[in-house]
Chain A
Amino acid sequence: MHYIPFLSTLVTLAFAAAVFRRYLQRRGPHLLIWTIGLLWYGLGTLSEVILGLTFSGLVLKLWYLSGAMLTAAWLGQGTLHLLVRRGRVAWALTGVLAAVSVLAAALVLLAPLAPAAASYQVAQPISSQYKDILTRSGGILALTILLNIYGTLTMVGGAIYSAFIFWRKRVLFNRMIGNILIAAGALAPAMGGSFIKIGLVDMLYLTELVGAVLMYIGFLQATTAQATEVAPVPSQ
């Protein structure tokens, strides 16, 4: 089971590099913010790799901060920049998200570890043990939930909305398919977090890998030139 986070890390870092390369070519702020979100994603899965080898309180906190709190929110923030281009709304919300992220980092890094840390088992996934080890205050829990609602809504909702617009207008078939894959990929780890709540702790690693692969394929599909096999219809 522990090789899955390793694969997820490789996929996510390759994905982040591809998005950043496109940012250097196109300069869209959404691409830079997606890169930040993907680096959080990769830091989360890399932490799982390390925690599968040895225990470190700092790595556990980085895992929680990046994976449970910041990844979805920053990926969703990139989508918001893509969809909301009027005025400075997206930048204002990015400022708020940055401030909340700093607050979240302070709260998590300062949170005490419980004595259960001494009985940590590397053979078990961290998703099945962190609740007993990391003392999460009310502030941490509230921020985790709010950041996840915001991130899931903007990332998944934004991709579904984009796909629907392309479908309704019958334009850019490849972007429509790409957005469907991105929505499904973003939903996978979000559902993985919900699986933890109902006791299926092993599902998180798998949904993270599936999510990273689907989003990467979706990104490649959306940024590739229109496929020739799609029958073109003359413009009006």
Chain B
Amino acid sequence: MSSRRFQPSRWSNWLVPAVLVILVIGLVATLTLVGLSLLGIK
């Protein structure tokens, strides 16, 4: 892997983790809905 590093700006210090958390929530929600289908609940 390249060692090309970056220094996060002030906005990306909170925005990137927030976006990652939102994506994880979206992933969990989607998998939950699909899982409920598997159980025949939804």
Query: Nearest Cβ distance between residue A235 and chain B, in whole angstroms?
Result: 4
Q: Are B37 and A145 in contact (CB under 8 A)?
A: yes
Residue-wise, chain B 2-40 has the 8 Å CB interface mask toward A (1 for contact) of 111111100000001101100110110111011101100
Q: How many A-B residue pairs have CB under 8 A?
A: 88
State whether A170 and B8 are in contact (beta carbons under 8 Å apart), knowing that A145-B37, A164-B20, A194-B33 are contacts in the complex: yes
A184 within 8 A of B: yes
Q: Which of A13-21, A35-43, A100-108, A151-159 contacts B (4 or more CB under 8 A)?
A: A151-159
Interface residues on B, range: 20 to 34
Q: Are A149 and B31 in contact (CB under 8 A)?
A: yes
Q: Are A145 and B34 in contact (CB under 8 A)?
A: yes
A59 within 8 A of B: no
Interface residues of A, dominant DSSP: helix
Question: What are 7 A-B interface contacts by the 8 Å CB criterion?
Answer: A142-B38, A163-B20, A164-B20, A172-B4, A180-B16, A187-B30, A194-B34
Query: Nearest Cβ distance between residue B29 and chain A, in whole angstroms?
Result: 8
Query: Nearest Cβ distance between residue B28 and chain A, in whole angstroms?
Result: 10
Q: Which of A77-85, A87-95, A110-118, A225-233 contacts B (4 or more CB under 8 A)?
A: A225-233
Binding site for B on A (CB under 8 A): 142, 145-146, 148-149, 152-153, 156-157, 160, 163-164, 167, 169-173, 176, 180, 183-184, 187, 190-191, 193-194, 197-198, 226, 230-236
- Measured between beta carbons, the chain A residues less than 8 angstroms from B34 are 145, 148-149, 152, 193-194
Binding site for A on B (CB under 8 A): 1-8, 16-17, 19-20, 23-24, 26-27, 29-31, 33-35, 37-38, 42
Q: In the complex the two chains form, what is the Cα distance from A157 to B26 in whole Å?
A: 11
- Measured between beta carbons, the chain B residues less than 8 angstroms from A163 are 16, 20
Q: What 10 additional pairs, Cβ within 8 angstroms, besides A173-B6, A233-B5?
A: A145-B38, A157-B27, A160-B23, A170-B5, A171-B3, A171-B6, A197-B37, A226-B2, A226-B4, A235-B3
Q: Are A231 and B7 in contact (CB under 8 A)?
A: yes
- Measured between beta carbons, the chain A residues less than 8 angstroms from B37 are 145, 197
- Measured between beta carbons, the chain B residues less than 8 angstroms from A146 are 38
Query: Nearest Cβ distance between residue A230 and chain B, in whole angstroms?
Result: 5
> When A and B form their complex, which 10 residue pairs have the shortest distance between CB atoms, in order from nearest?
A233-B5, A235-B3, A173-B6, A194-B33, A230-B6, A231-B7, A145-B38, A190-B30, A156-B27, A183-B23
Q: In the complex the two chains form, what is the Cα distance from A234 to B8 in whole Å?
A: 14
Contact partner of B7 (CB less than 8 A), chosen from A164, A167, A183, A233, is A233
Contact partner of B42 (CB less than 8 A), chosen from A148, A170, A197, is A197
- Measured between beta carbons, the chain B residues less than 8 angstroms from A156 are 23, 26-27, 30
